[in-house]
Amino acid sequence: MTTANTIQDFTDQEYKWGFITEVDEDRIPKGLNEDVVRLISSKKEEPEFMLQWRLKAYRHWVSLERSQSEPKWAHIKYPPIDYQNIVYYSAPKQKPGRTSLDEVDPEILKAYEKLGISLGEQKRLSGVAVDAVFDSVSVATTFKEKLAEKGVIFCSFSEAVRKHPALIEKYLGSVVPYTDNFFATLNAAVFSDGSFVYVPKGVRCPMELSTYFRINAADTGQFERTLIIAEEGASVSYLEGCTAPVRDENQLHAAVVELVALDYAQIKYSTVQNWYPGDKQGKGGIYNFVTKRGKCLGKNSKISWTQVETGSAITWKYPSCILIGDNSIGEFYSVALTNNYQQADTGTKMIHIGKNTRSTVVAKGISAGFGQNTYRGQVKIMKGATGARNYTQCDSLLIGDKCGAHTFPYIEVRNGSAQMEHEASTSKVGEDQIFYLRQRGLSAEEAVSMIINGFCKQVFRELPMEFAVEAQKLLSVSLKGAWGKDGHAGNPQSTREYQSSGDSEGD
Amino acid sequence: MAMLEIRNLHVKIENREILKGLNLKVNAGEVHSIMGPNGSGKSTLAQVLARRESYLVTEGEVLLDGKDLLAMKPEDAACEGVFMAFQYPIEIAGISNAYFLRAALNAVRKYHGRKEMDAMDFLPFYKGKMKLLEVDESFMTRSVNEGFSGGEKKRNEILQMALLEPKLAILDETDSGLDIDALRIVANGVNAMRSPDRATIVITHYQRLLDYIVPDFVHVLVDGRIVKSGGKELALTLEEQGYVGVETEARALAVAV
């Protein structure tokens, strides 16, 4: 049989973002205790309120750990994480008070160049401002001055803490409190950097903002925190991308994102997540345990999440919207792909509090290889949310017969005027479809790619133009090995089996 | 040299032998019709020529312009000019017909080292073909075969054929599920494609389609072998007498061998 050979050819195409950059890093020893929290805070030259907040979070986390409160309800499996075996701060050494890109280590600039993110003045992606986060710190932010002309603040979180403490004190933890959940609590204690965006009243941010997260150092966890505030009538579109080197050990990435939209404000938040997924046998890869939430605080405000999740060994995230303002809108568009031994438990929460609030959820799960893909979503209509509406659509696509797709929608309605719609489907990429496209001249690979892109179309069209194309390419690369050149799914070398299943549960 | 030469073809699916030594020669410019009762192996022949891999060839050879067709992958056969109009065209959600057709056309062009066609060049090209098949403009923006009626699906197959301009076109029961108007439109499309460089194999149960697409040769396939060949009048004989006559003849022949 040629099946084994062609699949071999396919899977030889490895994760191409897996390189390691040699830079001199300022690392603190492994382990977590109150001194580590103090050390991180002092390294960041933070004001007292920040240190106190971190310490409260740390103490709370210790109690959570003692009572074994790490969440266990998700449909994922992993060995216990040794939180004392992680480096909580690792940053490339740089001159203090760095002011320009010229002072960034050329090795780091090269690394971003290799990732296709140019931080250099001449080659910047026009119309997109980038904040580059390398391990624990932000190394560069582009277009800051141009944005400042409009009053838009776009900088690293650390810089925001130093320069705009009032805004941080007002909004930090206002959407995701430090007590929220085990991983968010850990993040609150030890987060080292991230991005901060503030768009003042009535301003439409003149360009796309984006953060590129890169994990480089070994044994480190990345704990970043992003806070975006859109004042009355403001609007902003923000995109984040992430990659990491190939390593045999699992690495923890526990981030928190908070969004706040005031009256008539709009925030569009897009993610293209491509952390190292582990190898074909499931060794290594990032544990992507992330808490993302947005508050539509003002009337007629809107928050829209779009995510394309192709990387990570495990993805655990539920970007959510709390719809407080009357007539506010929450949206969630997601593509989650699991190949080889990847696992994803992802979805959203839409909490309707204000009147005439509306939410849309479109989730597309793709499972291949031995991947396990779960959609978990909650739609909650509170008593006062008269006239609330929700539309949910979740579709699963299976490639091969050893993967799994699972759907857990939770719907809770406390106001009789609510209108709820829920649609779900599970389908398989059929040999018939592949053959049809191949009979017209497309290769098996092109055929699968076309079918998948068709499946994800509703989500891709929500992405900013430049990134939609990237996302499509990423998806085809991530699926390498899922389908042999001869058009047969499966991995004949392995004996482990999962059953394809579509189960659901609700209350 | 014949464009297509099938010699002693034996094909199995799930351990059951379907084709049991089929021989056929098709020259460029000819239209051949293959008729036969249910289960005689007509669709199997079409699928094997289109290189569907679930069909196992146990014996024999197939040459396309002297090249070993059985060694080709489906996409290579397609690029070499083999086109099959599917009996049951497949739906592809979220991909527009125009996008799909341009991708297919460009795959074939690339294979032959020709420049790929961009959307601007493609537009006037397909518009001409659409007129031929009397299809609406919305055809191109709709997802491939999704929500198409049976007739629309078949017209879409012939539209693809018209765009890809194959060397060897195989129509697998294209008449099934068509009303008389759709049948006429589809047949017009196929007839417009008749050319001295192109060969066509029309697989059908019924003589009806052959009133519109008049074949040069008719072959009767029974139990995995071609038992009788003749001109277009053979189809009429079959229509009158059914397959029973030729089946008996075939059995007698098999005993004699």
The reported pLDDT for the residue numbered B120 is: 84
Q: What is the mean pLDDT of residues A395-412?
A: 89
Q: pLDDT tens digits for B126-157?
A: 888 888 888 888 888 899 999 998 889 999 99
Of the listed ranges A240-244, A294-298, A375-379, B42-46, the least confidently predicted one is: A240-244
CB A384 within 8 A of CB A353: yes
Interface A-B, measured as beta-carbon pairs within 8 A, has a size of 77
User: What pLDDT is attached to residue A326?
Assistant: 97
Between chains, do B53 and A486 touch, taking CB under 8 Å as contact?
A: yes
pLDDT at A5: 33
For residue B201, give how far its alpha carbon lies from the nearest alpha carbon of chain A (Å).
16
Residue A426 lies in a domain: yes
In Å, the largest CA–CA distance within chain A is 68
Q: CB contact, 8 Å: A440 with chain B?
A: yes
Q: Do B90 and A455 touch (CB under 8 A)?
A: no
A444 touches chain B (CB under 8 A): yes
Closest by Cβ to A439, choosing from B78, B103, B105: B78
Q: Check if A453 contacts B (Cβ < 8 Å).
A: yes
Rounded to an integer, what distance in angstroms lies between the CA atom of residue A295 and that of residue B47? 56
Q: Confirm or reject contact between B94 and chain A (CB < 8 A).
A: yes
Write the CB contacts of A111 (distance below 8 Å, at least 6 apart in sequence). Answer: A19, A21, A134, A214, A216
CA neighbor of A331 nearest in space, from A340, A321, A342: A321
Q: Would you state the pLDDT for residue A191?
A: 92
> b/e map of B209-218 (b: 16 or more CB within 10 Å)?
bbebbebebb
* B111 neighbourhood in chain A, CB within 8 Å: 441
Q: Lowest-confidence range among A111-125, A152-166, A379-393?
A: A111-125
Q: Which residues of A touch B107 (CB under 8 A)?
A: 440-443, 446
To 5 degrees, how large is the angle CA A239–CA A244–CA A247?
160
| Closest residue, chain B, to A441 (C-alpha) | B75
Domain span holding position A409: 4-492
Cβ-contact A332, A305 below 8 angstroms: yes
- E strand or H helix at A322: strand A320-323
List pLDDT tens digits, range A442-482.
998 889 888 988 998 889 888 877 677 777 777 776 766 66
Is the pLDDT at A81 greater than 50? The verdict is yes
Nearest to B53 among A443, A458, A487 (CB): A487
Q: Quick one: angle between helices B97-111 and B150-164, nearest 10? A: 30
Distances (CA, A) of A443 to A481, A483, B9, B41, B200: 14, 11, 26, 27, 24
> Does B167 reach chain A within 8 Å, measured CB to CB?
no
Q: Is A497 within a domain?
A: no
Q: What is the mean pLDDT of chain B?
A: 90
Q: What is the DSSP string of B6-59?
A: EEEEEEEETTEEEEEEEEEEE-TT-EEEEE--TTSSHHHHHHHHTT-TTSEEEE
For A145, the 3-state DSSP assignment is helix
Chain B residues close to A6, C-beta within 8 Å: none
| B94:A456 CB<8 A | yes
Stretch A285-296: mean pLDDT: 93
Give residue B205's pLDDT. Answer: 83
Q: Do A440 and B107 touch (CB under 8 A)?
A: yes
For strands A389-398 and A404-413, give the pairing: unpaired
Paired tokens of B191? 């007839």
Distance from CA of A190 to the nearest CA of B (A): 44
Nearest to A50 by CA among A139, A155, A162, A179: A162
User: How many CA atoms, within 13 angstroms, populate the side-chain half-sphere of residue A490?
Assistant: 18
Structural domain includes residue A502:
no
Work out the pLDDT band at A502, boundaries 50, 70, 90: very low
Q: Which residues of B touch A458 (CB under 8 A)?
A: 94
Q: pLDDT tens digits, residue range A351-382?
A: 999 999 999 999 999 888 888 999 999 999 99
Across the interface, whether the CB atoms of B75 and A457 are under 8 A apart is answered no
CB proximity list for B23: less than 8 A, separation 6 or greater: B6, B7, B8, B9, B226
Q: How many Cα atoms are found within 13 Å in the side-chain-facing hemisphere of A394?
A: 26
Tracing tokens 């007002």 back to the chain, one arrives at A170
- The verdict on A450 touching B (C-beta cutoff 8 Å) is yes
Instruction: Check if the beta carbon of residue A326 is closer than 8 Å to that of residue A352.
Output: no
Task: Name the domain count of chain A.
Answer: 1
Question: What number of other Cβ atoms are within 10 A of residue A221's Cβ?
Answer: 27
DSSP reduced 3-state for A173: coil
Asked if the Cβ–Cβ distance from B107 to A443 is below 8 Å, we say yes
Structure tokens at A417: 């005027």
pLDDT at position B256 is: 59
Closest CA to B33 of B241, B248, B177, B221: B221
Per-residue CA distances from A480 to A398, A489, B245 (Å): 15, 11, 54
Q: In what order do the strands lie in the sheet with B168-172?
A: B82-85, B168-172, B199-204, B31-35, B217-222, B225-230
Specify the DSSP class assigned to residue A150: T
- What would the two tokens of residue B36 be? 């036969």
Q: Is residue A481 within 8 Å of residue A337, measured between CB atoms? A: no
Residue of A nearest to B143 (CA): A454
In a domain, A505, yes or no: no
Q: Is residue A501 part of a domain?
A: no
**Which residue of chain A comes nearest to B112, CA vs CA?**
A441
- Non-local (6+) Cβ contacts of B133 within 8 A are B155, B158, B159, B162, B185, B186, B188, B189
Q: Is there a domain that residue A500 lies in?
A: no
Q: Is residue A503 part of a domain?
A: no
Q: Is residue A499 part of a domain?
A: no
